[in-house]
């Protein structure tokens, strides 16, 4: 199991355990985090937007062009923004810190 830390908009940190191979979106859903993932994790929206702690962003594979284009649609994009559906949990991410943005931009509808 891999330990991950989700920083919530209210300032609280939720430390959870995840299985190798899960996406960060799946981990968030499994642990009842307030993250939408409107497209079901197929990279057709930007509602699983996460902000990776700057100490960890260099340890992740670079975003693909497709992910970067989706991130352009997010509310509050930062240079270390990523889509939770595109990051798979590995042992190398043990201790990862991610923040949930305070808002999202759902272009798929309400």
3-state secondary structure the chain: CEEEEEECCCCCEEEEEECCCCEHHHHHHHCCCCCCCCCCCCCCCCCCEEEECHHHHCCCCCCCHHHHHHHCCCCCCCCCEEEHHHCECCHHHCCEEEECCCCCCCCCCC
pLDDT exceeds cutoff 60 at 105: no
pTM listed for this prediction: 0.89
Question: Would you state the pLDDT for residue 24?
Answer: 98
User: What mean pLDDT value characterizes the chain?
Assistant: 91
Class level of CATH domain 2-99 = alpha beta
Of 101 and 103, the structure prediction assigns the larger pLDDT to 101
Question: Would you state the pLDDT for residue 109?
Answer: 52
The full set of domain ranges for the chain reads 2-99
């Amino acid at each position: 199991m891999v330990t991950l830390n989700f920083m919530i908009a209210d300032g609280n940190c939720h430390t959870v355990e995840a299985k190798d191979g899960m996406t960060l979106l799946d981990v968030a859903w499994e642990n009842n985090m307030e993250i939408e993932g409107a497209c079901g994790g197929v990279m057709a929206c930007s509602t699983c937007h996460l902000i990776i702690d700057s100490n960890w962003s260099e340890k992740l594979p670079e975003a693909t062009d497709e992910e970067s284009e989706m991130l352009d649609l997010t509310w509050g994009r930062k240079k270390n923004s990523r889509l939770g559906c595109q990051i798979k949990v590995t042992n190398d991410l043990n201790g990862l810190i991610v923040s949930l943005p305070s808002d999202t931009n759902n272009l798929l509808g309400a």
